């Protein structure tokens, strides 16, 4: 346990700062929408998906249909389908009891930390410690959202605008993606921004996310088929 902690804690530190901060923002946003701290606790324990949690707050507040929630969850989190691919073999080599949680807890940030771990330790000597990394990451997120939900109630400070932290998070992830493989990625990023903006004005604020995601996925697949094959 001590060895696991010695390995996992320093590697989870960057996530700690990000998750506590974003978790606080989520707790405040949720609290402002009329949900008290227990909701923040429950959602952060069971959903544990940063972007979806932010996106679902107005959906919960508006008590949307189950289908809308399912479709939103499907499309907002669809990218997670591709995360596990990097870890199919690794998670299989871990203790059986750990595997379900490793899959459950594979968030954007934990995914990137584990990619780093795999990169520096290809033999997987420290693989069993990954469980603690995932657990610590989620703990930061849960603690942050509870603090946020409590602060939102207790402090007289006006937190309007703190939800920009989600925008900033996505912008940062997008930059990381773009610098990774600029030539191909900028085309799909640019197309996605154009399509989504168009859908926003055509379908309106409440209904544009789904058509925007569908068209974007189709265009991305099409681009890969005709234009992206060369590189």
Of 187-216, binders to other proteins (CB under 8 A) are: 188-193, 195-197, 200-201, 205, 208-209, 212-213, 216
Q: How far is CA 104 from the centre of its chain?
A: 12
- The CA distances from residue 85 to 28, 40, 93, 125, 141, in Å, are 34, 30, 14, 20, 24
Which of 40, 57, 106, 114 is in the footprint of other proteins by CB under 8 A? Answer: 106
Instruction: Give the shortest CB-101-to-other proteins separation in angstroms.
Output: 11
Q: Any contact of residue 147 with other proteins (CB under 8 A)?
A: no
Residues binding other proteins: number (CB under 8 A): 90
Listing DSSP states for 28-39 in one string gives HHHHHTT--HHH
Which of 139, 159, 147, 162 lies closest to 27, judged by CA?
Answer: 147
Q: Which is nearer to other proteins, 3 or 206 (CB)?
A: 206
Cβ neighbours of 180 (radius 10 Å):
9
Cβ neighbours of 224 (radius 10 Å):
12
Q: Any contact of residue 227 with other proteins (CB under 8 A)?
A: no
Q: Tokens in use for 210?
A: 């789904």
Q: Any contact of residue 73 with other proteins (CB under 8 A)?
A: yes
Instruction: Give the shortest CB-89-to-other proteins separation in angstroms.
Output: 8
Q: Which is nearer to other proteins, 122 or 161 (CB)?
A: 161
Q: Any contact of residue 217 with other proteins (CB under 8 A)?
A: yes
Q: Any contact of residue 90 with other proteins (CB under 8 A)?
A: no
Q: Any contact of residue 18 with other proteins (CB under 8 A)?
A: yes
Q: Which is nearer to other proteins, 2 or 92 (CB)?
A: 92
Q: Any contact of residue 26 with other proteins (CB under 8 A)?
A: no
Of the listed pieces 2-10, 19-27, 129-137, 140-148, which binds other proteins according to CB under 8 A? 19-27
- For the chain, give the number of residues: 231
Q: Which alpha helices (H) appear in 62-163, and where do they start and end?
A: 66-76, 88-93, 99-104, 108-120, 130-154
CA dihedral for 201, 207, 211, 216, sign (positive or negative)? positive
d(CA 127, CA 124): 5
Q: Which is nearer to other proteins, 124 or 177 (CB)?
A: 177
Which of 165, 202, 207, 226 is in the footprint of other proteins by CB under 8 A? Answer: 165
């Amino acid at each position: 346990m001590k060895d696991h902690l010695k390995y996992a804690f320093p590697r989870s530190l960057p996530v700690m700062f990000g998750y506590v901060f974003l978790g606080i923002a989520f707790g405040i946003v949720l609290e402002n929408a009329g949900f008290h701290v227990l909701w923040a606790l429950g959602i952060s324990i069971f959903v544990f998906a940063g972007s979806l949690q932010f996106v679902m707050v107005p959906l919960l507040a508006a008590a949307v249909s189950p289908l809308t929630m399912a479709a939103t969850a499907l499309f907002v989190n669809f990218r997670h389908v591709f995360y596990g691919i990097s870890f199919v073999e690794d998670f299989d080599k871990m203790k059986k009891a750990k595997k379900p949680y490793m899959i459950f807890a594979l968030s954007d940030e934990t995914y990137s930390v584990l990619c780093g771990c795999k990169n520096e330790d290809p033999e997987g000597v420290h693989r069993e410690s990954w469980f603690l990394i995932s657990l610590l990451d989620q703990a930061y997120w849960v603690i942050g959202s509870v603090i946020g939900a409590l602060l939102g109630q207790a402090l007289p400070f006006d937190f309007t605008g703190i939800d920009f932290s989600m925008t900033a998070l996505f912008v940062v992830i997008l930059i990381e993606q773009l610098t990774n493989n600029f030539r191909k990625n900028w085309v799909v990023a640019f197309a996605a921004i154009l399509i989504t903006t168009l859908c926003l004005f055509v379908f309106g604020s409440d209904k544009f996310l789904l058509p925007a995601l569908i068209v974007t996925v189709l265009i991305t697949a099409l681009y890969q088929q005709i234009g992206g094959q060369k590189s």
